[in-house]
């Protein structure tokens, strides 16, 4: 069930070059959200920009959370890339944000116990939905592979010390962790774990990264789910403005906002 509601800003802090973490008090959406779902945010009460903006839910806490400090809290990560997100950077504590969510299809959790290691693979602000997933899987055999251009562009939140044991980082300039792309790091990880190959992979990031992952895993017996990024008009499936081509013979074009944003990566048809 999705809700339209307003939520006061609790914190809006810069966490990297042009990247921000926005925390809001939003019990209805936080209590219903699943890893991989998203919210549609009205960025301007004055009507310009007109369309809402989609953001993956990075963290959500039930109103019944045992920790009273975070009950009903909702966190999204965003990058300043245009007029709408530039307006968001000026939101201060107490500003009321108009939201619709949680929306879309989230990740499918692997069976417990999992027959093999679980890999979360992310790039850029795509790590947001993976952070929500990790919070539900952190007691299991999970490895997190995160990539960015430089160390300053790594957006993974580090406030939970247990993340460090699972986290491996790749930067294209070698300023932090492995030098290369996150796909290079993934190949190295697979070679190092030949006796216990990952059977469940969850990914989110730029479309080029996801296509590369699709090429690397298509012939493997791995379950690969990915959250796709797309421009959205409504976020509710009505406008059909965010379709991707799939192998579905009945309905080959699926809406990222409705049938996704999480898809079986092996069913995506990549245009040449």
Domain shared by 136 and 189, yes or no: yes
Q: Residue 165: what pLDDT?
A: 82
Domain shared by 95 and 230, yes or no: no
Q: Residue 140 domain-assigned?
A: yes
Q: Residue 131 domain-assigned?
A: yes
| CATH code, 153 | 3.40.50.80
Q: Residue 69: what pLDDT?
A: 84
Domain shared by 38 and 171, yes or no: no
- Cα separations in angstroms, 147 against 125, 144, 173, 175, 197: 10, 10, 11, 11, 20
Domain shared by 98 and 153, yes or no: no
Q: Residue 113 domain-assigned?
A: no
- Of residues 137, 62, 44, the one with CA closest to residue 102: 62
- Degrees to nearest 5, angle at CA 56 with 235 and 84: 70
- Of residues 164, 199, 201, 163, the one with CA closest to residue 182: 201
Q: Residue 163: what pLDDT?
A: 80
- Of residues 253, 37, 126, the one with CA closest to residue 144: 126
Q: Residue 158: what pLDDT?
A: 52
Q: Residue 30: what pLDDT?
A: 96
Q: Residue 110 domain-assigned?
A: no
Backbone angle region of 237, left / alpha / beta, with phi > 0 → left and psi within -120 to 50 → alpha: left
Domain shared by 93 and 142, yes or no: no
* Phi, psi torsion values for 184, nearest 5 degrees: -60, -45
Domain shared by 179 and 257, yes or no: yes
Q: Residue 157: what pLDDT?
A: 58
Domain shared by 65 and 174, yes or no: no
Q: Residue 190: what pLDDT?
A: 87
Which one-letter DSSP state was computed for residue 111? Answer: P
- Cα separations in angstroms, 239 against 5, 105, 227, 235: 22, 17, 20, 8
| CATH code, 35 | 2.40.30.10
- What kind and span of H or E run contains 262? strand 262-264
Q: Residue 111 domain-assigned?
A: no
For residues 9 and 93, the answer to whether their CB atoms sit within 8 Å is: yes
Domain shared by 51 and 165, yes or no: no
Q: Residue 109 domain-assigned?
A: no
Domain shared by 12 and 85, yes or no: yes
Domain shared by 122 and 190, yes or no: yes
For residues 258 and 238, the answer to whether their CB atoms sit within 8 Å is: no
The whole-angstrom separation of Cα 179 and Cα 163 is: 20
Residue that has been written with the tokens 């990915």 in this structure: 226
**Tens-binned pLDDT, residue by residue, of the chain (272 aa):** 889 999 999 999 998 888 999 999 999 999 999 999 999 999 988 778 889 999 999 999 988 888 888 899 999 999 999 999 999 999 999 999 999 999 999 999 988 777 678 999 998 777 889 988 988 888 888 999 999 999 888 876 555 667 878 899 999 999 999 999 999 999 998 888 777 767 799 999 999 999 999 999 988 888 899 999 888 989 999 999 999 999 999 999 999 999 999 999 999 999 75
For residues 168 and 179, the answer to whether their CB atoms sit within 8 Å is: no
Q: Which domain holds residue 222?
A: 118-267
pTM (2 d.p.): 0.92
Domain shared by 123 and 99, yes or no: no
Domain shared by 81 and 127, yes or no: no
Number of domains in the chain: 2
Tens of pLDDT, residue by residue over 212-249, are 999 999 888 888 999 998 889 899 999 999 999 999 99
């Amino acid at each position: 069930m999705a809700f339209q509601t307003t939520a006061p800003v609790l914190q809006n802090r810069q966490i990297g070059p042009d990247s921000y973490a926005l925390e809001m008090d939003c019990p209805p959406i936080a209590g219903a959200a699943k890893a991989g779902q998203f919210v549609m945010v009205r960025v301007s009460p004055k009507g310009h920009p007109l369309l809402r903006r989609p953001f993956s839910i990075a963290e959500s806490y039930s109103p019944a959370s045992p920790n009273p400090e975070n009950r009903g809290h909702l966190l999204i990560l965003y990058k300043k890339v245009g007029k709408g997100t530039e307006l968001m950077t000026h939101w201060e504590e107490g500003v009321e944000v108009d939201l619709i969510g949680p929306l879309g299809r989230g990740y499918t959790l692997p069976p417990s116990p999992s027959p093999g290691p679980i890999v979360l693979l992310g790039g850029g602000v795509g790590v947001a939905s993976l952070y929500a997933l990790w919070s539900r899987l952190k007691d299991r055999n999970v490895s997190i592979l995160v990539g960015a251009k430089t160390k300053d562009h790594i957006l993974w939140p580090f406030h939970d010390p247990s993340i460090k044991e699972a986290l491996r980082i790749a930067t294209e300039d070698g300023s932090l962790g492995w030098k290369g792309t996150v796909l290079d790091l993934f190949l190295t990880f697979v070679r190092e774990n030949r006796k216990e190959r990952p059977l469940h992979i969850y990914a989110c990031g730029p479309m080029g990264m996801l296509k590369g992952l699709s090429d690397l895993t298509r012939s493997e017996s791995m379950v690969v789910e990915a959250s796709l990024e797309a421009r959205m008009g409504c976020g509710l499936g009505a406008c059909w403005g965010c379709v991707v081509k799939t192998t579905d013979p009945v309905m080959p074009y699926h809406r990222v906002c409705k049938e996704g944003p999480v898809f079986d990566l092996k069913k995506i048809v990549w245009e040449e």
